[in-house]
Structure 1
Amino acid sequence: MAMSSSKWSNPTRVNDATSNLNYKKIKDIENMDEREKYAFGNYGYGKNHVKLLHVHRQGSLHKIREYEIDVYLRLSTQNDYLEGDNRQIIATDSQKNTVYVLAKKHGIKSPEEFGLLLCSHFLNTYKHVVEVGVKLEEYPWERLRAEGQAHNHAFVYSPSAIRLAQIVHKRNEIAQISGGLKNLRILKTTQSAFKDFIEDGYRTLPDANDRIFSTVVSSTWDYSTANGVDFDDVWCAIKDCVLDKFAGDPEKGIFSPSVQNTLYLAEKMILDNVPQISRIEMQMPNKHYFPVNMSKFPQEIVDGHDNNEVYLPVDKPSGIIYAELHRKNFVSKL
C-alpha cells in the first residue's frame, strides 16, 4: 500500500532541515564566542551637511538664517551592526526631512534652540534612541543697507566670523549645549611685542618691540544653563570681548606682550561678562607678516619712504597658541 505524502515527510528533507538547524546553532554559538572578544566603543549614524535657509516674513520685513546641520543618533541596540537587522533604523534621509519639517513648524530663533528642539523630537518620538547630537554652522548674512537704511529683504554675505553650535542630549540626562565661532581673522599694525623669551643655541628669532599682530580666532564654550539665555546676544558678546582685548581703545589701542596674554584676557573677560558660560577654549594661531628686506636695493631708490612699510605675508609654518579657561566648582543648571 502506498504511503500518503501528506502523512509522512521525506527523510532527505528532514535530514536537510536538521542539518540547517544544527548549522545555525553552531554559527550562533560561534558568533556569541566572537562577540565576547569585542565591545563597541563610540557608534551611531546620522546625516551630515543638511543645508537649510529659513525665511521669516513679517509683512514687507523679512529675516533669514542659513545653516549647515549635522545630526547623529545612537540606538539602544546594535542589531543593525551585528545582525544586519534594519528594523530599528531611522533612515538618515528621514533625519534630513525632520530638520526641514521642524524648521517649517517651529521656525528658527537661534541655532542652539533649534538644536535642542531636534534633540527633544528624536528622544520623544523614538524610545530606542538613547543619544542625539546636533551640530550647526550658521552662514554670516547681514541686512544690506541702502540709502542710509537697512533693507527690508536684501542681504549681504559678511563673513567676519562663522557661528557654531552643538547639542548632545542623552536620554534621562541634561542636554549639553556648546557654542562657538571660527574664522575670525583680525590684524593690528602696532601695540604688539614679543621679547625676553628663552635665549639658547636654538633661538634665531630676535626680540620684537613693535610688530604686526594677526591671527584667526577659533573658540568653543559650554553653557551651564539654558534658562533665560539669549543665545544670539551671548554670541555677539563673546565676539565683542575678543575684539576688545585684541584692539582696545579706538585711538590708543591696547598693548599685547604676547598672544598668550591677549588670549587669556579675552577668555577672562568673557567669563566675567557672561555668567551662563562655564568653560571657554580658544585658539589664536600666528599669521606672520615679516618686513621685506630692502637692504639689497640701492639706497637712493628706497630713501625718503620710511612711512611706507612693506611686509611679506607668511602662512606656514605658524605658531599656535591655545588655552582653556573654566570656572572652579560650577554647578550645571540646564
Structure 2
Amino acid sequence: MMSRKLIDESAGNKLRDTSDQYVISNYGYGKDSVKVLHVVRNGLVHSIKEFEVGTKLKLASQKDYLQGDNSDIVATDSQKNTVYLLARKHGLKSPEEFGMLLCSHFLAKYSHVNEVSIHIDEYPWSRMGFGKGPYQDLHNHAFVFTPTAIRYCDVTQKRGDRSPTVISGLTDLRVLKTTQSAFVNFVDDEYRSLPDQHDRIFSTVVRSSWQYSTVQDVDFDFCWNKVKHCILDNFAGETVKGIFSPSVQNTLYLAEKQVLQSIPEISSIDMTMPNKHYFSFDFSKFPKVINGDELKEETVFLPVDKPAGIIYAQLDRKSTMKSKL
C-alpha cells in the first residue's frame, strides 16, 4: 500500500506537471461602489456632484495570483482613498473628466500598472425650485433627487495609449406616450396571434452608450444632455401633435442618427429599447357594469412587465468602420 507521504508527493507532481496547461486570460482587481459627494460653495450659492466610482487595475505581473506574492498590489482600500483625495484636490466636474484623471494618476503613480478601468455613475441631483413658470426661483443650497435617467461612464487606459477610451451612457430613461405609435404589416403566419396595432401605447426604458473618437476639449456635460434630448425628441416630437412611430426599431434608429449628426465627437452609439406593454382589458365580459357606449374609447389598460420585447441597434460612422478594417 502506498504511504500517505508518497500519495501527497505524487499529487503535487501532477499539479506541477499540468500547471503549464493553463493561462490566466483576464485578470484585475479594484474597489467598487466608492460613493463621494463634492460641494462647491460660491458664497450663498452651493453646487453638488455625487458619484459612485469603481476602480480596477491590471498589473504587469500575475505573481499575486500564481505565487501569492502581494508586493505589487495597490490595495483596494488605497484605491478608495485615491478617489477621495483626488476629489478633494481637483473637485468633481463631469464623470468622464474624473475618470480620465483617475486613469492618469494610477498609470503615472505605479509603473507596474498596465491598465486602468474606471466606472462612474452620477447621482441625479437637481437644484430645488419654487414658484411658477419662467420666473421660478432656484434654491441656493437645497436639492431634490430627480432620477429621470442615470448617467454613467466607463474610462479605460492602457500603458502606452495616447489617450483613454471614453464610453458614456444613460440608463433607466423610462418614457411613455399614449398615441402616435403603431405596429402593422409584420410577418403573418401560423405562429402569429398579435393583431395589427394602428394606435397603441408606446412605452420603453432606454439604455444607451456611446464612444468618443476624441477626448480633447469635449464638453461631456453638453454631449450627455444632447444625447438625452435626441432620444426624447425622436420619441415624443413637438408638443401638440408629436411624432409618429411605425415601430420601436425606427424610433431607435432616428434617435441614434440624430446623435451622430449633432455631435461630431461621438463615433458610435448603441441603444436598447425594451417594450413596456400596456394591454387592453376586456370589459365586454362585464355588460352589467360597462355598457356598449362606454367601450368606444379605451381608457383603462393593464401594465405587463414580463415577458417583454427587446429592440437594440448600434450605429457607427462609416468613416469609423473603415478605420477599423
TM-score, normalising length: structure 1: 0.88
- Structure 2 distance, partners of 1:89, 1:293, is 63
User: In 2, Cα distance between the equivalents of 1:208 and 1:83?
Assistant: 63
Q: Distance in 2 between matches of 1:28 and 1:83?
A: 15
Query: In the comparison of the two structures, how many residue pairs are matched?
Result: 307
Select which of 259, 275, 278 maps to 2:264.
275
| Alpha-carbon shift at residue 301 of structure 1 (Å) | 3.1
Q: Distance in 1 between matches of 2:12 and 2:79?
A: 33
Match of 1:250 in 2: 239
Render the CA deviation track for 1:212-270: whole Å, top value 9, x for unaligned.
00000000000001111110000000000000000001101100000000000000000
Distance in 1 of aligned mates of 2:38 and 2:70:
33
1:67 CA displacement = 1.2
Distance, in Å, in 2 between the alignment partners of 1:296 and 1:247 is 34
Tell me if the contact between 2:237 and 2:243 (Cα under 8 Å) persists in the aligned partners. Answer: yes
**Cα RMSD after superposing both structures:** 1.9
2:137 to 145, 149, 154: 149
8 Å contact 2:284–2:290 — kept in the other structure? no
Aligned equivalents of 2:123, 2:292: Cα separation in 1: 47
Q: Report the counterpart of residue 202 of structure 1 in structure 2.
A: 191
Cα distance in structure 2, aligned partners of 1:140 and 1:300: 45
Specify every segment of 5 or more residues in structure 1 that has no aligned partner in the other structure, as ranges.
1-25
For residue 137 of structure 1, the aligned residue among 121, 144, 154 is: 121
Q: Kindly indicate whether residue 213 of structure 2 is the aligned counterpart of residue 224 of structure 1.
A: yes
* Residues 58-98 of structure 1: CA deviation (Å, up to 9, x unaligned): 11111111111110000000010011111110000000000
Give the Cα separation in 2 of the matches to 1:108 and 1:141: 14
Identity of aligned residues (%): 57
1:188 and 2:177 equivalent? Answer: yes
Q: Distance in 1 between matches of 2:114 and 2:291?
A: 69
* Aligned residues of 1:221 and 1:277 also touching (Cα < 8 A): yes
Larger radius of gyration between Structure 1 and Structure 2: 1
Residue of structure 1 aligned with 2:274, choices 255, 270, 285? 285
SS in 2 for 1:99: helix
2:313 pairs with one of 319, 323, 333: 323
1:16 is matched with none
* Unpaired runs of at least 5, structure 2: 1-9
- Establish whether residue 72 from structure 1 lines up as the match of residue 60 from structure 2: no
Corresponding residue number in structure 1 for 2:6: none
Q: Cα distance 1:40–1:87, how it changes in 2: closer, same or farther (>3 A)?
A: same
1:1-334 correspondence runs (5 A): 33-147=17-131, 148-173=136-161, 174-298=163-287, 301-305=290-294, 306-307=296-297, 309-330=299-320
